[in-house]
Amino acid sequence: MSDILKSLIEIVGERGVSNAPEELWFYSRDPGVLAPHKPDYVVAPKTTEEVQKIVQLAGRENIPVVPMGNGMSLAGLVIPLKGGIVLDMKRMNKILEVNAMGRYAVLEGGTSQGMLKAYLQKNHPTLRHSLPDAPPTTTIAANVALHGQGRLTNQYGFNSDMVTGLEVVLPTGEICRIGSPSIGPYWFSKGPTLPDLSGLFLGWLGCTGIITKVGLKLFPNKKFRDVELFVTDRVDLVPTMLYKLTHLEILEDVNVWFQPKPLMFLGNYHITMFFTGDTEEEIEFKRKMIWDALQEFMDSKDGGFMSVQYMKSALLEMPGRTIADFADVPKGGGFEYSGPIALIEHYPKYAAKVVELAEKYNVLYASAARLISGGHCMMFSISFAFNRNDPAMMARVEKALTEAMTFALDMGGVPWKPNFKEQKMVMQRMEPNALKLLLMIKKNLDPQGIMNPGNWEVTP
């Protein structure tokens, strides 16, 4: 047995470490199209102190550490590009505190989205968090570390904007609290009015430290949730429609989607609008506001409301179980998407690009955009499904996604959860001083370059 393995067992016990071929094979890949790369060890800590000791060991031995939630980014963000230790954080899943009046929760980083949802439903039914559409196994820390979005993103911004404090193990092994918990017992602010240090970790994909605890904003859980679905075949009108809708300031979530299958969706762009209320009257009032906002498009016959009765339960379900269906359309268990953050006015151009790429690379597409912060921007997903048993199709999807990212950057978009290749594309275009600052931060926080190496690096 190697010394490293022995040391790891000393830290987390035998059931917390594996270097068996089975775990190494599994933890070397994610469900996307990027090539796998094996770690040397998979380690599952249960406490912050264990994480600290693992990082200190990695520092001494100069081996990489890749923190992982459920590995569902699809962009290969937890593929250990240079081997080393993959830290499966899911055993750190305690919900430590809910401050109901302060509307925040404090959780261990590996807590799953599903468990937080269930916990709030049971213990604090008037509160909710911004649940992403990703499967419920995905973790809170991973979601904020990659600037995830959720069902409240139109209303309140990126899920990372909802962080109210962090506990982080730095690449040098120190345990560090960020925001209000750094100076007192409360977890209500990640930065303001202090210098906001959370930016050193949020969006960094685990390259600057390991998030072991997260303070997270909770929001009112109204008694009723409802949904309306507007369709149009005029893509050029979509930005205006969205502008009118966001002007209402009543929508918790707005998604715009189009896909060629099943046939009923062909040729149309669908705007799904979610809204809430504590009374039937509030719901009806909001529904009328939504219809009134789009009446002009009905009058011109350019758009209309679909009856959502039969798909209502699927639309309102959180997380949406049917979303994963797309992966099985080519009967092959896979899809991956590029999700640039872009200006809403660019929607028509992005939409055209999706279809163009799908045709060019002969792959099946779907696209769903989510509005962010009441319409300042959107996440535009360019999704392609693939058959995992068809390497040629996977290669085509990879090329299509790279081209999609090039297009998004050309359009001034910002890539969401960029893979290591896309990060390079970003850095090549970044204003030199901004890049210098970025690399300086990385270098200072992680002088040995052991944290998720291969990501946010100039040379891999």
Asked whether position 280 contacts another protein by CB under 8 A, the answer is yes
d(C-alpha 247, C-alpha 374), whole Å: 8
With contacts defined by CB under 8 A, name the span among 148-156, 257-265, 359-367, 449-457 that binds another protein: 257-265
Binding mask 294-313 for another protein (x = CB under 8 A): -x-xx--xxxxxxx-xx---
Among 193, 195, 264, 281, binds another protein (CB under 8 A): 264
What DSSP state is assigned to residue 136?
A: T
With contacts defined by CB under 8 A, name the span among 55-63, 117-125, 367-375, 423-431 that binds another protein: 117-125
Among 88, 167, 226, 253, binds another protein (CB under 8 A): 88
With contacts defined by CB under 8 A, name the span among 113-121, 164-172, 345-353, 415-423 that binds another protein: 113-121
Binding mask 31-60 for another protein (x = CB under 8 A): x----------x-x----------------
d(C-alpha 364, C-alpha 201), whole Å: 35
DSSP E strands, 210-363: 210-217, 219-220, 224-232, 253-258, 269-277, 303-305, 333-338, 341-342
Of 168, 131, 125, 124, nearest in space to 149 by CA: 131
Residues 60-66: contacts with CB under 8 Å, at least 24 apart: 61/4, 62/448, 62/450, 63/4, 63/450, 64/450, 64/451, 64/452, 64/453, 65/171, 65/210, 65/450, 65/451, 65/452, 66/39, 66/206, 66/452
d(C-alpha 460, C-alpha 458), whole Å: 6
Residue labelled with tokens 């992005």 = 350
6-25 residues in contact with another protein (CB under 8 A) are 15, 18, 20-23, 25
d(C-alpha 446, C-alpha 188), whole Å: 28
Asked whether position 130 contacts another protein by CB under 8 A, the answer is no
Among 6, 60, 247, 288, binds another protein (CB under 8 A): 288
Which residue(s) pair with 335 in the sheet?
Answer: 385
Binding mask 369-398 for another protein (x = CB under 8 A): ------------------xxx-x-------
Compare residues 44 and 66 and give the one whose CB is closer to another protein.
Answer: 44
The secondary element (H helix, E strand) that includes residue 393 is helix 391-410
Compare residues 199 and 348 and give the one whose CB is closer to another protein.
Answer: 348
Asked whether position 459 contacts another protein by CB under 8 A, the answer is no
Question: Is the previous residue joined to 279 through a cis bond, with omega within 30 degrees of 0?
Answer: no
Which residue ranges make up the site for another protein (CB under 8 A)?
A: 15, 18, 20-23, 25-27, 31, 42, 44, 70-72, 88, 90-91, 112-115, 117-119, 121-122, 135-137, 231-233, 263-268, 280, 287-288, 291, 295, 297-298, 301-307, 309-310, 321-322, 324-325, 327-328, 331-334, 387-389, 391
